[in-house]
Amino acid sequence: MRSTIGLLEDIGLIKSEIKVYLALLELGSSTTGPIVEKSGASSSKIYEILEKLMQKGLASFVIKSGTKYFEAAEPKRLVDYLKEKKSKLKLQEEELKQLIPELELKKNLSKHKSEATIYKGMKGLETAFYEALDTLKPKDEFLVIGVPSRSDKVNRFFVKWNKERGKRRIQSRQLFDESAKGELQTLPENNPASDIRFHPTGVTTPAAVNVLKDRVIIFPSETGKDPLLISINNKEVAESFRAQFEQLWDQDVKIYRGFESVTNRFASMRDELKKGEEYYTLGATYGKRGERLKKWFVEYHKIRVKRGVIAKLLTVSNDHDEVKKTLSPPSDPGMKFAEIKRLPPNFSSPMQITMYKGNKALMLLFSKDMVCFEIESKQLHDNFKNYFDSLWNQETRVVKGLDAIQDIFEDMLQYNHVDLIGARGYFMDYRPEYINAWEKRAIKKGFTMRNIVDVETKGHRVTILPFMKTQYTIPKEFSASSVFWIYGNKVVISNWVEKEPTAVIIENKNLHDVYKKQFEQLWNQETVRYEGIEGMKIAYFDALDATPEGSVTFVYGASITSKETDEILFEYNKERAKKNVKLKIIFNLDAKSSATTRSAKKEFNPLAEIKFIPYSATPTNFEIFPDRVIMSTATKKDPTTIVIKNKEVVESFKANFEELWKKKIK
């Protein structure tokens, strides 16, 4: 069923009259204030609207205490109004029939007039186009060929004219010269019910040609203050220009030559895309155009980002770093709405290919003079896109060189965390300046890292980054072969077996999860074995770092130590005393009999209570911390140290120590 407003509009009421009439029906007798509030009508127009309703017999008023109160007529009055309108239309119909012969005579006489009319100036421009517009009906089409750059005055006229055309539901297809791109009349919001395209400057006509039914308006490029137009009323001429338009509109391949023409075409592509839409470039490169193209490139992407258009770029290997640096400058790292990946070094193509809108491809050739081929073909677009996707989504890639490793550092920074197995910091040694800047950005982002490596790496920059946690629990032989990077949905395996590093990048969630689980098992393993003096030192100092201040640790089976382990333990006990960690220690009998051994002296063990067991209990030294037990063969020059992180084991050793401590031993 039709709406009330729609029906009342059809019988001759305008929307403001309908709203006021409906408000009066609901309010009853009312002053203008409530009527304005209820209907939403303008307070300055309310009396004018009420007057029109009263003229149509749909409203009336009474005066109470000097104030007008308006009331709606009975709804059945609408039927009377319609009948009156029909009677009036009948009378007008009879009068029009009498006028027809005179009008037909005027039409016949017009055949003898000239088919071409010249209009001059802005008034002429207005007359020519509005007269032509009046000849069109809804769903008729208005065609334009070769509109060049226009003055602001002319642009503003066409904005107004096109909006009126849109209101009348008259469709339009318009071919603009690239020189007009970005001007007011080329913007979609100013040119409704239009399909706008741009074609190369080299194929435009010497004037804009406007085709409306059987009329053609030729508007040459502006050369003086006043526009000059030629309007031709001729069906054959109109059909000829319409055929030319269709050829230009439907051509599959367009060619753009030169810096201005090519860059304008790419800017037009960007402007065709809406916020959130994507385009894809295969073989993205700077080409060989130096600073001029670079400056344009930066400005182009700034506008793209502002508009929220997404770019996915597969860059030529040699140009990748420069492209990424430009899109992610140090002043604004990580430019939004862009994803960038490097093509394999062996990938080669003589041109850059950009795909967008599901049916368009721009092929840019960096020859002596920049040349761009525009092809509108869904099949070709899809073929290029499938090739792009296969390269973009490949799970496994092999990359080489320091630049490739630097790319991995940049990539993992986007994920805020990475787990490493065997990272010894070789890349940091080669590019310290880059790492200085990278570290600052990582701190700012709240980036975190964990690394499991061999003890010989301790003290290297890779182990002392402020956001790095390190465990030294794997053999050197393992960490010296390959490094595993685990982050995002990726696993990267890198090594330095040749002059330059090589990395295998695997983007696979299932594989990532397997390696992540393996890392967690290594990181959280309850029992870890360390070899040598350095391993022993790491085990003791890591345990001390995890021990709260004011705690008590327990040692059982302490014996005469070697010179090397003696130095480690002396340093450790000094740090323990600084942290106010107390110690209860039960020495073996051999330590007591060797009074010259520092391990048996009070000054060697500050904040320590010392007892001696009346026999040599064990060659192994057990130290019990709040969260772990350390067993070490401290008597050896190259000790073996085992760390057990298990609450039940800690409690068992502690209970055994307490029982022994209670015995009468000195």
Q: Does residue 135 have a pLDDT over 60?
A: yes
Of 601 and 654, more confident:
654
- Which residues, in sequence order, are CB contacts of 380 under 8 Å at separation 6+? 361
> Of 412, 541, 532, 552, which Cα lies nearest the Cα of 483?
412
Whether the pLDDT of residue 245 is over 90: the answer is no
Torsion (CA) 527, 532, 534, 538 in degrees, nearest 10:
20
Question: Which stretches does DSSP call E strand in 479-535?
Answer: 483-487, 490-495, 502-507, 527-531
Q: Would you state the pLDDT for residue 451?
A: 92
- Average of per-residue pLDDT across 604-617: 73
pLDDT beyond 60 at 110? no
Mean local confidence (pLDDT), 64-81: 84
Hey, what domains does the chain have and what are their CATH numbers?
4-75 (1.10.10.10), 116-251 (3.30.870.10), 254-388 (3.30.870.10), 398-523 (3.30.870.10), 527-662 (3.30.870.10)
How far apart are alpha carbons 212 and 301 in whole angstroms? 39
Q: In the predicted model, is pLDDT for residue 260 greater than 80?
A: yes
Order of strands, edge to edge, in the sheet holding 396-400?
396-400, 502-507, 490-495, 483-487, 417-421, 448-452, 468-471
Whether the predicted pLDDT of 538 surpasses 70: yes
Reported for 218-223, long-range contacts at CB under 8 A and 24+ positions apart, including other chains, are: 219/125, 221/148, 222/150, 222/151, 222/154
DSSP 277: -
**Predicted pLDDT at 534:** 83
The Cα 613–Cα 588 span in angstroms is: 6
3-state secondary structure 366-382: ECCCEEEEEEECHHHHH
Mean pLDDT of 95-123: 69
Phi–psi pair at 83, nearest 5 degrees: -65, -40
Across all residues in the chain, what is the average pLDDT?
82
8 Å CB contact between 657 and 651:
no
| Of the ranges 242-256, 368-382, 414-428, 587-601, the best mean pLDDT one | 414-428
Beta strand spans in 445-566 (E) = 448-452, 468-471, 483-487, 490-495, 502-507, 527-531, 552-558
More confident residue, 565 or 34: 34
Average pLDDT over residues 491-508: 83
Mean pLDDT of 354-364: 89
Q: What is the dihedral of CA 42, 48, 52, 57, to 10 degrees?
A: 90
- Which tokens belong to 90? 């009948």
The Cα 199–Cα 145 span in angstroms is 10
Cα separation, 229 vs 220, in Å, equals 7
In the chain, the percentage of residues whose pLDDT exceeds 90 is 17
pLDDT at residue 449 greater than cutoff 90: yes
Residue 335 vs residues 302, 327, 414: alpha-carbon distances, Å: 9, 6, 12
If one counts every other C-beta atom within 10 angstroms of the C-beta of residue 116, the result is 13
**pLDDT of 478:** 63
Average pLDDT estimate for 63-70:
84
Report the candidate in 76, 37, 81 with the shortest Cα–Cα distance to residue 56. Answer: 81
Residues 6+ apart with CB under 8 A from 90: none
For residue 78, name the pLDDT band (cuts at 50, 70, 90). confident
The tens digit of pLDDT for each residue in 88-100 reads: 888 888 887 877 7
Q: Which of 194-208, 356-370, 524-538, 644-658 has the lowest mean pLDDT?
A: 194-208
What six digits make up the tokens of 511? Answer: 């594989």
- Examine the pLDDT at 1 and tell me if it is beyond 50: no
Average pLDDT over residues 616-623: 70
